[in-house]
């Protein structure tokens, strides 16, 4: 089954945006990423799996290594010189990453990643008694499991009802249904900024307006937008948001939870222990204000410093230029894939704003087999349900192939992918 032709509007918009900005030179950028010079199965690596995890530039590797070799110490608790230096670097990293998303330092909680951030919010809301029997939690049918299962669990613990905004056939959210679902019993509206399967940028302003009208909190999954779009979380109006370091050129094991100050102050801690207290007796404890209230235990000092280096790198290139470049790649990928018999693109919404990501089904060939065929040619893609099984069920498939771009991808990467995909069905006799 073949998808519909590309939207002239999308292609034109990508071209217009790109022409208005200084050209991004992906070849020069690639020199900062040593892994991209690797050979895979005798072929140059075409890395098209950045939606799963991004590659890391030398600036990030060097920042974390420099900390570990010159200033490694536990933060916030030592009186010696290294501890003071480590604490300063750690809090400078917080200010840098917070500024990257338009926030103040005290509005950024360090987490191990977006999954922890979403679980922190869900458990804290439940522990605060803010979700009760009869309340409703609204999410969408296109969410990553990390923005679905914590809400399932919260609903189960509290007696609340979980409801879902459906997706249309083209992958866009049904906003008429959203307006009907979000009502006086809604306490939380949790949704992704950009689908990790579809690549479509969702209408944040409309969803925030619907939630605000009924006094509901909004929780944004920004994992697939933070590395690809200019991001100002306070300007978007969301109450809480999460993002993951390893998807935005940073290290593993670190991410951020943004929260409006009054919202964070109203939430109790999720984890307890050291670092997040003011006084402790044998019978009770008192907690620090946010963000430290939510940072129990040993902090991710090196990874946080690495993430700060990553956002400085992204800022140095410019998110507008990155988005324009990746939009061009998305358009080129679409135009190539759509012409291949037996390739069905998921979420081929005409005129929708998107990042450089497409998932597709290969008629007659399982996604895992397709992925192995591409890997043999040095092309790295994602296969499976991408932690979004309900969305794949919506399209009648159990798995898909996902190709996702980043600032370091070239038109040659896309052309190699398209040429290789054209060979999948003939190779398997489909």
Residues with a known catalytic role:
387
Q: Give the torsion sign (CA, 418, 7, 14, 208).
A: negative
Say how far apart CA 376 and CA 338 lie, in whole Å: 23
Q: Give the torsion sign (CA, 223, 241, 193, 386).
A: positive
Category of 134 on φ-ψ map: left (φ > 0), alpha (ψ -120 to 50) or beta: left
Kindly state the tokens that stand for 207: 């969803």
- Neighbour-count burial of 426, counting CB atoms closer than 10 A to its CB (0-12 exposed, 13-18 middle, 19+ buried): exposed
What DSSP assignment string belongs to 189-209? EEEESB-TTT-BBP-HHHHHH
Residues 226, 101 contacting (CB under 8 angstroms): yes
- Neighbour-count burial of 159, counting CB atoms closer than 10 A to its CB (0-12 exposed, 13-18 middle, 19+ buried): exposed
Q: Which residues pair with 285 in a beta bridge?
A: 280
Residues 320, 21 contacting (CB under 8 angstroms): yes
Q: Give the torsion sign (CA, 315, 55, 294, 195).
A: positive
Q: Which of 284, 257, 269, 207 is nearest to 101 (CA)?
A: 257
Residues 386, 225 contacting (CB under 8 angstroms): no
Kindly state the tokens that stand for 394: 């919506």
Give the three-class secondary structure for 338.
coil
Q: Which of 173, 179, 204, 182 is nearest to 137 (CA)?
A: 182
């Amino acid at each position: 089954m073949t998808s519909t032709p590309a939207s002239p509007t999308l292609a034109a918009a990508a071209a217009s945006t790109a022409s208005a900005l200084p050209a991004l030179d992906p070849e020069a950028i690639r020199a900062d990423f040593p892994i991209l010079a690797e050979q895979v199965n005798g072929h140059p690596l075409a890395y098209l799996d950045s939606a799963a995890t991004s590659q890391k530039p030398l600036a990030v590797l060097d920042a974390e290594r420099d900390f570990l070799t010159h200033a490694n110490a536990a933060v916030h608790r030592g009186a010696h010189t290294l501890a003071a230096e480590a604490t300063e670097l750690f809090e400078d990293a917080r200010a840098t990453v917070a500024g990257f998303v338009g926030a103040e330092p005290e509005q950024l909680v360090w987490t191990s990643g977006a999954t922890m951030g979403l679980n922190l919010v869900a458990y804290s809301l439940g522990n605060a008694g803010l979700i009760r029997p009869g309340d409703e939690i609204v999410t969408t049918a296109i969410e990553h499991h990390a923005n679905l299962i914590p809400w399932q669990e919260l609903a189960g613990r509290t007696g609340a009802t979980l409801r879902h905004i459906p997706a249309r056939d083209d992958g866009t959210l049904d906003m008429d249904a959203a307006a009907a679902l979000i009502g006086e019993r809604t306490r939380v509206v949790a949704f992704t900024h950009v689908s990790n399967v579809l690549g479509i940028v969702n209408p944040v302003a409309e969803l925030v307006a619907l939630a605000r009208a009924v006094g509901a909190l909004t929780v944004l999954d920004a994992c697939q937008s933070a590395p690809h779009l200019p991001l100002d979380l306070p300007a978007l109006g969301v109450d809480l948001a999460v993002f993951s370091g390893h998807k935005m050129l940073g290290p593993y094991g670190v991410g951020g939870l943004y929260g409006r100050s009054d919202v964070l102050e109203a939430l109790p801690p999720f984890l307890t222990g050291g670092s997040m207290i003011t006084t402790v007796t044998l019978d009770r404890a008192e907690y620090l204000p946010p963000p430290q209230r939510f940072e129990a235990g040993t902090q991710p000092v090196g990874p946080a410093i690495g993430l700060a280096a990553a956002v400085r790198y992204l800022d140095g290139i410019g998110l507008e230029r990155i988005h324009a470049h990746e939009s061009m790649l998305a358009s080129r990928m679409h135009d190539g894939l759509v012409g291949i018999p037996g390739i069905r693109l998921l979420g081929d919404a005409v005129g929708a704003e998107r990042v450089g990501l497409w998932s597709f089904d290969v008629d007659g060939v399982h996604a895992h087999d397709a992925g192995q065929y591409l890997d043999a040619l040095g092309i790295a893609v994602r296969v499976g349900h991408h932690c979004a099984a309900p969305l794949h069920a919506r399209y009648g498939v159990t798995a898909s192939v996902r190709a996702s771009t980043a600032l370091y991808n070239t038109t040659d990467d896309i052309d190699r992918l398209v040429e290789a995909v054209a060979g999948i069905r003939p190779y398997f006799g489909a």
